[in-house]
């Protein structure tokens, strides 16, 4: 096929030549007699090209082309036959009845068939056969896997890999052949079993059948078959950790790595990754795997050395002693003439420097030499690593070197450097001036949103953690928003100015920059500027300033955008009514968004509740600082600085409010609980009722409704060859509990694959206004049946069994939801309400910290103002806040405590609540 030139493309020739309609019309060339291999090859190439660039054929078109292509099996031309198989593979996904060509393909993959296209036939057969036919072609695949020709063996192994998800049981039987392929010595075999006759390379250009008369082997030293067979072996054994460990040890070649049968560097790299996965899943294997990895550090292949060093550097809880050899290997690569090796080594060291800067510091001299490396990616990682490992004395020198090449690198690498500087600012606060000057300089440079955001984030952190640079940093941000093209960044900076500006020594100097935004910017930025202005006027800084801001806000009432006008009107209303300043300007807490969403959903889904206004008093609040932590983005150093092969960072666990929302959604799907109404409170985390190593694992979550309590038991069956039926939990209260059992919703069938299953046990609260506390004995009951290994079906007869679980308690913590408040003002506000004070002696407590942790756990309340961490070893005050479910209202607790070695902890508990029952609940919980 001759490719069209650019001129042809402009004239439309290429479009016509590769047009789907034209190709389908020209498919009649397949029916010509005699067949022209050259014409057919050209047309098949165009069909495959169209499929590769995303063109789609209808089922009818694909089927017509597919069976037209199969007519070409009559001709023996090798190059044509290879092209036929390529087209069959691609068309088989759309065409119908493709299975009919199976016999033609199987003729070409006979073990005694010495033709170049046998590997192509194997790959095509894998695409078209039905999974149920896998057993019928098993002997062909087994023979192909152990074939001496690497091309054939690799084709069979890769095809088996693709067949595995659909025919697991059949492919698992090929494990011996795959093992043989791994151990085979293929250095003297041929990769292409081709004959290069005078007709052309690989028989192209010749239609003579004599081209296939025999092999003219081309020696292959790639050992690619080992790579493919190792992948298949792991796929078959991946569920059996012991088998995988044994495979790694057998193929690893001992402590020196010299005894390995693997010749392919890619296969060894794959084996190293399997070893890393085994270590991650089972820390007990770390020592023996580490011995193997250190042996591979001395392998003759650079690829293997790098992979082994990278895995050692990324091991959990790795010690500096274990890192010594891998860092020495990476240090050698830093002086390599190959850019790829330098890049891989610097990137690995950059990610390691986050956790082990002192170990990486040994490479600092080599890394400094790379700052001037012509490859700017290498230079970026070198400077990033130096910023993490350098000392305070080297900061200024590094900053000068960075400034020299910032304009020469891409935004992605600029972000990495800015994040490294952000970390360095917090490490060496005394050097903030030079770093702030650098950041303000790059803020004026050209760059995309991600880069500018990284710089702004770095300056935000400096404002937050380094008090001395606050005023100067705010000035730089004010200058930046004068010509900032990114609305999101302008809004964030204006918000920060509204928070930090009024606290500055000269707040008035920021007013001009903020009001300029009201005059010059788009509606979103203008609205943010109005909010920032109002904070300057309403924070009682200066009466004169307040009047000036009032005038500016009145001007905003004429704005063309309704959001800007509404904000200005709201803040002017706050001017008129000073009590509104606290909730609208100075409030330090916000509603938990997931809890608010859950409340709104349950409110809208219950038609009866719509008759009354939404009660927001039961929605827990969180501090603005806590909300910022939950939505904080990960540092770019944690994402871009780590090699792409690393496992993605574990997502943060869901907050208590998000967990509550998930439970509410889950319970709403249970028909038996539909009449109970909204869930008032759920346990923040499941309480285990068994040891983690037991054969049956059970945990419990308690859900409080207005008139009911539902216990949710999460039951897991860890025995693979056993099925549990009619799984239920029998609960027996130990005393008069004030609860009446309604029903149990059992799990019909539970296997290890379907675990965990959920058992619900419902109780009615005899007195809904009381907060019942009780203890329950729990027994897991079920019918146990063995699974038939041949069919996977359970036996007809089983036996009833029961399993004793640990006791579970219904305690005060199950009724209380943590909620943030400003403690001092709220404590004073509730002075006239219910107030209870009790003194307790806790002689068993060994410290004030232990007492704080115990009280917080018992009450499940929100600690405020950092009081959960005592600053003094002898005297402390713990402040807590929460909401009592079911209309119990707000409750505050002040725990004054003292500690002495002789008496332990003495605790004075002061409780202020909106209802007497809530105060009694707290006192009884601590007293109990």
Q: How far is CA 256 from CA 298, 325, 833, in A?
A: 8, 13, 76
3-state helix, strand and coil shares in percent for the chain, rounded to the nearest 5: 55, 15, 30
Report which of residues 315 and 769 the model is more confident about: 315
Taking 80 as the threshold, does the pLDDT of residue 96 lie above it? yes
Cα(166)–Cα(128) distance, rounded to whole angstroms? 13
Per the prediction, the chain carries an average pLDDT of 80
584 pLDDT band, cuts 50/70/90, is confident
Taking 60 as the threshold, does the pLDDT of residue 103 lie above it? yes
Does the predicted TM-score (pTM) go above 0.75?
no
- Ranking 257-261, 538-542, 609-613, 730-734 by mean pLDDT, the lowest is 257-261
| pLDDT (0 to 100) of residue 626 | 66
Please, what sign has the CA dihedral across residues 445, 446, 452, 454?
Answer: negative
Residue 887: closest CA among 771, 803, 747, 781: 771
Residues in the chain: 928
Tell me the three-class secondary structure of 846-887, residue by residue: CCHHHHHHHHHHHHCCEECCCCCCCCCCCEEEEEEEEEECCC
Cα(225)–Cα(252) distance, rounded to whole angstroms? 17
pLDDT in tens, 197-236: 333 333 344 333 334 444 444 545 567 888 888 888 888 8
Taking 50 as the threshold, does the pLDDT of residue 334 lie above it? yes
Cα(441)–Cα(438) distance, rounded to whole angstroms? 5
Please, what sign has the CA dihedral across residues 813, 817, 823, 827?
Answer: negative
| pLDDT (0 to 100) of residue 491 | 92
β-pair partners for 219: 190
Which of 581-595, 605-619, 832-846 shows the highest mean pLDDT?
832-846
Cα(799)–Cα(917) distance, rounded to whole angstroms? 48
Helix (H, G, I), strand (E, B) or coil at 573: helix
Which of 109-118, 610-619, 747-756 shows the highest mean pLDDT?
747-756
pLDDT in tens, 682-736: 877 788 888 877 888 888 888 888 888 889 888 888 877 788 888 888 888 877 7
Percent of the chain with pLDDT over 90: 6
E strand spans, 707-773:
708-717, 722-733, 739-745, 747-750, 757-765
The first and second tokens of residue 667, run together, are 């319970």
- Ranking 328-342, 466-480, 550-564, 775-789 by mean pLDDT, the lowest is 775-789
Segment 22-31 long-range contacts (CB within 8 Å, at least 24 positions apart): 23/47, 23/50, 24/61, 24/64, 24/65, 27/64, 27/65, 27/68, 30/68, 30/69, 30/71, 30/72, 31/68, 31/71
Average pLDDT estimate for 93-98 = 80
Taking 90 as the threshold, does the pLDDT of residue 566 lie above it? yes
pLDDT in tens, 484-494: 889 999 999 99
Cα(808)–Cα(742) distance, rounded to whole angstroms? 18
Residues 6+ away with beta carbon under 8 Å from 544: none
Taking 70 as the threshold, does the pLDDT of residue 528 lie above it? yes
Cis status, amide bond into 348, omega within 30 of 0: no
Angle made by CA atoms 505, 506, 509, in degrees to the nearest 5: 150
* DSSP letters for 32-65: -SS--HHHHHHHHHHHHHHHHTT----HHHHHHH
Taking 60 as the threshold, does the pLDDT of residue 420 lie above it? yes
Residues 6+ away with beta carbon under 8 Å from 50: 18, 20, 23
Cα(809)–Cα(380) distance, rounded to whole angstroms? 57
């Amino acid at each position: 096929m001759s490719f069209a030139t650019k001129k042809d493309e402009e004239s439309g020739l290429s479009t016509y030549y590769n047009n789907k309609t034209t190709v389908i019309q020209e498919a009649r060339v397949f029916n010509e007699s005699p067949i022209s291999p050259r014409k057919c090859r050209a047309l098949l190439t165009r069909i495959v090209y169209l499929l590769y660039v995303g063109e789609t054929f209808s089922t009818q078109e694909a089927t017509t082309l597919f069976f037209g292509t199969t007519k070409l099996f009559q001709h023996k031309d090798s190059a044509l036959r290879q092209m036929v198989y390529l087209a069959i593979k691609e068309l088989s996904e759309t065409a119908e009845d493709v299975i009919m060509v199976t016999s033609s393909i199987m003729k070409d993959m006979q073990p005694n068939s010495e033709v170049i296209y046998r590997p192509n036939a194997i790959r095509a057969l894998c695409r078209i056969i039905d999974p149920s036919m896998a057993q019928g072609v098993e002997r062909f695949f087994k023979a192909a896997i152990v074939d001496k020709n690497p091309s054939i063996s690799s084709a069979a192994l890769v095809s088996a890999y693709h067949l595995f998800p659909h025919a697991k049981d059949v492919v698992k039987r090929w494990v011996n052949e795959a093992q043989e392929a791994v151990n085979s010595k293929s250095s003297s075999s041929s990769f292409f079993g081709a004959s290069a006759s005078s007709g052309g390379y690989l028989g192209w250009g010749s239609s003579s059948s004599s081209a296939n008369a025999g092999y003219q082997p081309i020696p292959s030293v790639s050992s690619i078959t080992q790579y493919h067979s190792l992948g298949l072996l792991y796929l078959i054994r991946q569920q059996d950790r012991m088998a995988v460990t044994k495979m790694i040890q057998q193929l690893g070649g001992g402590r020196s790595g010299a005894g390995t049968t693997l010749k392919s560097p890619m296969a060894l790299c794959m084996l190293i990754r399997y070893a890393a996965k085994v270590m991650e899943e089972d820390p007990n294997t770390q020592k023996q795997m580490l011995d193997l990895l250190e042996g591979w550090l001395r392998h003759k292949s650079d690829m293997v050395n790098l992979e082994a060093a990278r895995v050692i550097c990324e091991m959990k809880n790795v010690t500096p002693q274990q890192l010594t050899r891998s860092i020495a290997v990476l240090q050698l690569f830093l002086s390599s003439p190959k850019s790829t090796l330098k890049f891989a080594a610097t990137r690995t060291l950059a990610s390691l420097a986050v956790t082990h800067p002192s170990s990486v510091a040994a490479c600092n001299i080599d890394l400094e030499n790379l700052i001037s490396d012509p490859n700017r990616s290498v230079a970026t990682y070198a400077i990033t690593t130096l910023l993490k490992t350098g000392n305070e004395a080297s900061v200024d020198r590094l900053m000068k070197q960075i400034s020299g090449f910032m304009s020469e690198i891409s935004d992605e690498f600029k972000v990495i450097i800015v994040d490294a500087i952000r970390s360095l600012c917090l490490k060496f606060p005394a050097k903030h001036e030079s770093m702030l000057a650098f950041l303000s300089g790059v803020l004026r440079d050209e760059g995309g949103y991600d880069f500018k955001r990284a710089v702004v984030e770095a300056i935000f952190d400096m404002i937050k953690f380094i008090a001395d640079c606050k005023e100067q940093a705010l000035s730089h941000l004010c200058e930046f928003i004068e010509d900032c093209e990114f609305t999101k960044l302008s809004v964030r900076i204006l918000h920060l100015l509204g928070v930090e500006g009024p606290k500055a020594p000269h707040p008035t100097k920021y007013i001009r920059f903020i009001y300029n935004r009201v005059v010059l910017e788009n509606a979103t930025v203008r609205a943010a500027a109005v909010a920032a202005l109002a904070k300057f006027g309403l924070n009682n800084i200066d009466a004169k300033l307040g009047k000036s801001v009032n005038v500016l806000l009145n001007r905003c009432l004429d704005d063309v955008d309704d959001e800007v006008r509404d904000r200005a009107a709201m803040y002017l209303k706050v001017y008129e009514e000073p009590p509104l300043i606290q909730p609208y300007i100075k409030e330090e807490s916000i509603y938990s968004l997931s809890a608010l969403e859950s409340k709104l959903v349950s409110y809208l889904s219950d038609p009866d509740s719509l008759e009354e206004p939404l009660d927001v008093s039961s929605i827990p609040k969180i501090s603005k600082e806590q909300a910022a932590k939950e939505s904080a983005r990960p540092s770019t150093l944690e994402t871009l600085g780590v090699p792409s092969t690393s496992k993605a960072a574990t997502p943060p666990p869901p907050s208590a409010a998000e967990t509550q929302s998930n439970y509410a959604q889950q319970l709403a799907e249970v028909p038996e609980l539909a009449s109970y109404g909204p869930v008032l409170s759920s346990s923040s985390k499941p309480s285990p009722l068994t040891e983690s190593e037991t054969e049956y694992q059970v945990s419990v979550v308690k859900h409080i409704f207005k008139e009911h309590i539902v216990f949710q038991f999460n039951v897991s069956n860890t025995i693979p060859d056993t099925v549990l039926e009619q799984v239920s939990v029998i609960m027996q209260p130990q005393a008069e509990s004030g609860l009446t059992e309604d029903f149990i919703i059992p799990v019909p069938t539970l296997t290890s694959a379907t675990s965990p299953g959920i058992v619900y046990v419902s109780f009615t609260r005899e007195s809904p206004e009381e907060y019942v506390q009780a203890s329950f004995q729990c027994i897991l009951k079920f019918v146990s049946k063995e699974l038939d290994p041949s069919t996977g079906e359970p036996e007809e007869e089983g036996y009833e069994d029961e399993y004793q679980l640990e006791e579970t308690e219904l305690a005060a913590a199950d009724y209380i939801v943590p909620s943030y408040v400003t403690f001092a003002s709220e404590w004073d506000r509730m002075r006239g309400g219910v107030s209870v004070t009790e003194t307790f002696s806790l002689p068993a407590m060994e410290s004030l910290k232990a007492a704080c942790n115990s009280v917080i756990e018992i009450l499940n309340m929100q600690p405020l103002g950092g009081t959960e961490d005592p600053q003094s070893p002898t005297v402390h005050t713990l402040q807590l806040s929460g909401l009592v479910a079911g209309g119990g209202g707000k409750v505050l607790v002040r725990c004054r405590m003292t500690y002495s070695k002789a008496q332990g902890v003495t605790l004075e508990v002061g409780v202020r609540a909106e209802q007497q029952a809530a105060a009694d609940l707290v006192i009884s919980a601590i007293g109990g």
